[in-house]
Homo-oligomer: A and B are copies of this chain.
Amino acid sequence: MSIKEQLQHKIDFKTKPTGSLGQLEDIALQIGMIQNTLSPKIEKPAMLVFAADHGLADENVSPYPKDVTWQMAMNIATGGAGISVFCRQNGIDLKVIDAGVDFDFPENTPIISSKIARGSKNMMHEPAMSIDECKLALVKGAEFVNAEAKKGCNTISFGEMGIGNTSPSSLLIHRFLGLPIEECVGAGAGVQGDALTHKQKILIEVSEKYNPSTPLETLATFGGLEIAMMVGAFIEAKKQNMVILVDGFIASAAMLTASQFEPTLKENCIFCHKSYEKAHITLLEKLGVEPILDLRLRLGEGTGAAVALSIIRSAVAFINEMASFEDAGVSNKE
C-alpha cells in the first residue's frame, strides 16, 4: 500500500463513521503525506512576519499613514498586535523581520534587521524593486526559513506588515492568473466607495506601464520587499519539506508567486482562512483549495494562520490518538 492508502486506512478505521471528521481528515492525510508517516507531528511551529514599506502608498491606496508600518512592526515585536496575541496563545515562535521599512528601529528593538531598501519604489514611476534587490530578498527569506529548520521547526507560516501591500498583491494575482485587475482589487484595510475606485484606477495605470516576462521580473516590478522575502521563504519551506500554513490575501499572493518558481509548492500548503477580500476568494478557487476558517478576518499579519493552527493540531491529534474499532472493541457498520 502507498503511504496515502495506509493513511486513509488508518483514518477510516478510527472509531467514527467514515469521513465524519470532514476536513480534519483531509488535513491529517495531507500532513501524513508531506511527512511520509502514519504518525505526523507539528514541531516547533514558527511565524515569520516580514515588514516593509511601499512607494505606491504615496498614491493614497491605503487609508492609513505610512508610519503605521514601523509602528505596527514594533507593536507586533513587543507583543501587542493581533498576531502577537494569537502566537502566544498557540505556542508559535514569532519573529518580526525588517525587510524594508522606511524607519530606523532603535538598537535594542526585538526586530530582526534585514533591510534591503527603505521601502519599495513607487510603481507609478518605476518598478518596485531592481532585479538585484528582488533576488536578495528571495535569498534572505530562504535563509530565515533555513535557520528555523535547523532548530527543528517542521511547521511554518508567514505574515506581513506593510501599509499599501494589498496593491502589489492584487497586481501579482492579476498577472499570474490573468484576471482583470478589477477582480483582484478589494477593500484592503478599509478602502471603500470613491477610494476603492481610485485604488483600482491607480492599479490599472500601473499594470499598463509594464510588461515583465519572467516570474522574477514580475515580482520585482509589482511586488514589495516583504512580499519578495515571503516568496523566498515559501520556496525554501517547500525545499525543507515543511508543513506551510498560508494566511490570507497577501500571503496567498506570495504563495502564488512562489509556485511560479516551485510548481509543487501547493502540496505542502494548508490554506488557513478565507479572507474577506473578494480577490482572495477568487484566488483560493483558482488554486482549487479549501481553506480551514471563514471568520471574515482581514487583518493580515499572519493572524488567520496562527488562529487556525489549533485546528491543524486537532487533525494531527485525532490521527495519532483516536482508537481504532479493533483497539476499542467497537462494532463497525453492519
Contact = CB atoms under 8 A, between A and B. Distances in A.
Contacts of A79: 321
A24 interface: yes
A60 B86 CA distance: 47
A21 B82 contact: yes
Given A21-B82, A322-B85, A71 B317 contact: no
- Measured as residues with beta carbon below 8 angstroms from the partner, the interface class of chain A is 35 or more
A34 interface: no
Chain A interface, DSSP helix/strand/loop, else mixed: loop
A334 B64 contact: yes
Contact of A23 (B20, B296, B322, B327): B296
A142 B333 CA distance: 34
A180 interface: no
A71 B330 contact: yes
A39 interface: no
Given A15-B72, A64-B333, A292-B295, 10 more contacts: A20-B189, A21-B299, A63-B333, A64-B331, A71-B331, A75-B323, A80-B328, A81-B328, A85-B314, A307-B311
Interface of A: 14-24, 63-65, 67-68, 71-72, 74-75, 78-82, 84-86, 88-90, 189-190, 276, 292-299, 303, 307, 310-311, 313-314, 317-318, 321-323, 327-334
